[in-house]
Structure 1
Amino acid sequence: MAQVANKEQSKGSVQSLNRALALLQLLAEHPDGLTLAEIAPLAELAPSTTHRLLSSLQALDFVSFETDTNRWFVGLAAFRAGAGYLRRRDHIATARQTMRELVAQTGETSNLAVVKNATLTFVAQIECNEAMRMAVPLGARGPLHASAVGKAILAFSPSPQRDNTIGQIEFFSLTEKTHGTVEQLRADFQLIRARGYAIDDEEQSIGLRCIGAPIFDEFGEPIFAVSISGPTVRVKAEKVEELADYVMAAARHITDQIGGIAPRAN
């Protein structure tokens, strides 16, 4: 009889845990909070059961209750648990599989880059099989004002951070198509934000065209950009929009995989 009782108790504990985690997930999907009257039907639980579970979560600081509005919210302990996951993520390893798929879809080399301290650095690359292809050593730096990845990150960065970085750029010309002034670069940023991707249209090297899109973190800020690069004889102007769809889809997928969130379109 004792064994049966223990099994029933264990089963009940698991059920309570599942229900509590479901409530936590429900609150996570409603950043403005929910009242008990709203939560119970959404969770398909009795109000008394819902309140008991919420109180248990509140005791552990996984949820909080706002007396002024009678609303329940995700608590600080849930944030700490999420932060633990964020610390163990390996963004580059996560991105590489999607980059392989992007190479298979487009037939062109894919790069992943990051901007830090006004410096663009390439941190991952998946090469295509074409004899004529772009190859960049990992750790190599690139020009922010003349690269699709650099411009993609800057265009979607918060204004103060973007302005600070722009102030550190040396607008040297690499080709006759390189942006030579701040005004030209800012005008390009407007186009990039409107369409969702950046183009290096022979701005870094004649005969080379690149398409890049930003990857966002959990705060909606760009932390990486993924791109494809290839010779203009293959990455033709009339194919840019089609190829950009693949690049943007890859960026969105990586953003989702690392727990990021793309900012809402204005």
Structure 2
Amino acid sequence: MNEKNRSVGRPRSPAGSTAKGTAAPSQSLTRGLQLLECLAGEPHGMSLSDVAQAAGLATSTTHRLLGTLQALDFVRHDERLGLWSIGLKTFCIGNAFTDSRDFVAEARPLMHQLAEDSGETVNLGVVDDGEAVFIAQVESQAMMRMVVRLGSRAPLHASGVGKALLARMDEAQVAAILHRRGLAGFTAGTLSSPTALRAALATIRRQGYAVDDEEHAIGLRCVAATIHGPDGRALAAISVSGPKARLADARLGELGARVARCAAQISERLGGRAPAAES
């Protein structure tokens, strides 16, 4: 009798459901997301005890959850410093606003225009784990051209994209990356001292673009500028790269202005804004 009187199309509420018929939240999932929120607010990383305290969880529970997230690449652990921080998967998911606007798709038409105007290869890169990672590319049509494999990495201190992104970080972030990654030398032009690098970053902030002058590979030059989100944070950097013979000294200023303008246009499409140039 009761079964017949039950409303058609309304299934029985499963055990553990709320009064409104929605499933109760998973405790482990909720706690895992809480840990990601804690880490997202500390770009320099957090110790296990700090994460546990911030999340209001037992240290053992926190360690178990972080281990699961690490196995899935949502967080990473610096064993030498004992710090936990956000991983690349969380970066991709966490930029939901940018992803919903299709970040690469928004940039690609302007990347194609920049490649056509400059005659050189255009790359788009982001920061992950203290390195630059290339996520999109429009190749030059020239026979001799610069090409990178998507997903490949480059040192921040010895690449145009990397230096542009470093220049938009605060001093604590830069110091943490230098402490962890060092300043490996690749060519005679590589910036191999913190003093030289910081002077270069100050120049980048003043002029609005970075230049890699054979600092990672002999014969190659790169000019890059950062793309910014609604909060002003640098999301990525766009660059023009090619042989030094074509990216001659006389072209660097013009290319720098062109790349910076393209980066600003992409930022605008994303609802972002670039910080004012330093005087």
TM-score by structure 2 length? 0.63
1:257 to 257, 269, 277: 269
Aligned length: 184
> 1:199–1:265: structure 2 CA closer, same or farther, 3 Å change rule?
closer
4+ residue runs over 3 A deviation: 83-87
CA RMSD of aligned residues (A): 1.5
SS of the residue 2:205 aligns to: helix
Distance 1:148 1:86 in 2: 23
Q: Which residue of 2 aligns with 1:143?
A: 155
Do residues 224 (structure 1) and 236 (structure 2) align?
A: yes
- Shift in Å at residue 170 of structure 1? 2.5
Distance 1:123 1:94 in 2: 13
What amino acid sits opposite 1:211 in the alignment? V
- Kindly provide the CA deviation profile for residues 222-241 of structure 1, in whole angstroms up to 9, marking residues without a partner as x: 11000000101111011100
Map of 1:193-232 to 2, 5 A cutoff? Answer: 193-232=205-244
Map of 1:1-266 to 2, 5 A cutoff? Answer: 86=98, 88-266=100-278
Distance 2:234 2:113 in 1: 21
Is the 2:212–2:221 Cα contact (8 Å) retained in structure 1?
yes
- Kindly provide the CA deviation profile for residues 152-207 of structure 1, in whole angstroms up to 9, marking residues without a partner as x: 01101233323322322231111100011111111100110010000000111111
- Shift in Å at residue 139 of structure 1? 0.1
Distance 1:174 1:86 in 2: 34
Unaligned ranges ≥5, structure 1: 1-82
- Shift in Å at residue 263 of structure 1? 1.5
- Shift in Å at residue 120 of structure 1? 1.1
Unaligned ranges ≥5, structure 2: 1-94
What amino acid sits opposite 1:128 in the alignment? S
Percent identity (aligned)? 41
> 1:84–1:240: structure 2 CA closer, same or farther, 3 Å change rule?
closer
Is the 2:208–2:277 Cα contact (8 Å) retained in structure 1?
no
Q: Which residue of 1 aligns with 2:68?
A: none
Distance 2:257 2:202 in 1: 18
- Shift in Å at residue 86 of structure 1? 4.7
What amino acid sits opposite 1:214 in the alignment? T
What amino acid sits opposite 1:157 in the alignment? M
> 1:141–1:193: structure 2 CA closer, same or farther, 3 Å change rule?
same
TM-score by structure 1 length? 0.66
Distance 1:126 1:112 in 2: 9
Is the 2:190–2:216 Cα contact (8 Å) retained in structure 1?
yes
> 1:87–1:97: structure 2 CA closer, same or farther, 3 Å change rule?
closer
SS of the residue 1:167 aligns to: helix
More helix, by proportion = 1
